């Protein structure tokens, strides 16, 4: 869990520093146009710091790190975010400095987005594998129920059959 918290903390620092870099570079260059530098800090804070704080809460609840796919998610997602944010920073800096950015930057940024997507898929697979182990067999975490996760697959006790299909209700209801 400490590694996840440290990762969120590192992204917080990078996010704040990238906001400072944006402000100081545009001020030094007397630039007032549109640039990707304007959104680098928000991307880092949201996709880095906030995201990993949410992963920290999920780790506390479901012990995600117990699954070997978590390591793959962690490094692939971080690599994707580093590549994506690096290309945004490079493209934005070139814009502020009055230089054109080539297709290579867009291609590498696309690779970063692909890595982010792969990381997210791995995270969701990891969460899916850990949910049954962490929440018991019932859908409310109490350990009771059919375990199928489908609310319409069980017949209620008659007290509240509003979610049970008519064909599955006990006689007299």
Sort 49 into a burial class: Cβ within 10 Å, 0-12 / 13-18 / 19+. Answer: buried
Tell me the pLDDT band of 131, cut-offs 50, 70 and 90.
Answer: confident
Residues 6+ apart with CB under 8 A from 4: 52, 55, 56, 59
Tell me the pLDDT band of 132, cut-offs 50, 70 and 90.
Answer: low
More confident residue, 160 or 15: 15
* Burial 57-80, CB ≥16 within 10 A → b, else e: ebbeebebbebebbebbbebbbbb
State residue 65's pLDDT score.
96
pLDDT at 111 over 90: yes
Global pTM? 0.75
Neighbour tally for 139: CB within 10 Å: 17
Q: How far apart are CA 95 and CA 26, in angstroms?
A: 10
Q: How far apart are CA 101 and CA 23, in angstroms?
A: 20
H-type helices in 29-64, by residue range?
Answer: 37-44, 51-62
State residue 21's pLDDT score.
96
State residue 164's pLDDT score.
45
Q: What is the pLDDT of residues 49-94, one digit of tens each?
A: 999 999 999 999 999 999 999 999 999 999 999 999 999 999 999 9
Q: How far apart are CA 151 and CA 35, in angstroms?
A: 49
């Amino acid at each position: 869990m400490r590694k996840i918290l440290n990762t969120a903390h590192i992204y917080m620092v990078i996010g704040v520093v990238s906001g400072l870099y944006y402000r100081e570079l545009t001020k030094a260059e007397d630039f007032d146009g549109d640039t990707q530098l304007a959104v680098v800090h928000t991307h880092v804070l949201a996709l880095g710091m906030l995201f990993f704080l949410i992963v920290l809460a999920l780790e506390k609840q479901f012990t995600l790190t117990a699954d070997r796919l978590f390591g793959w998610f962690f490094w692939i997602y971080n690599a994707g975010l580093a590549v994506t944010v690096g290309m945004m920073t490079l493209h934005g800096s070139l814009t502020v400095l009055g230089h054109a950015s080539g297709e290579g930057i867009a291609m590498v940024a696309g690779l970063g987005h692909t890595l982010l997507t792969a990381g997210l898929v791995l995270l969701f697979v990891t969460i899916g594998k850990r949910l049954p182990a962490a929440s018991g067999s019932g859908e409310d975490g109490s350990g009771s129920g059919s375990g199928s996760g489908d609310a319409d697959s069980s017949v209620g006790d008659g007290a509240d059959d509003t979610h049970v299909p008519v064909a599955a209700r006990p006689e007299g209801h």
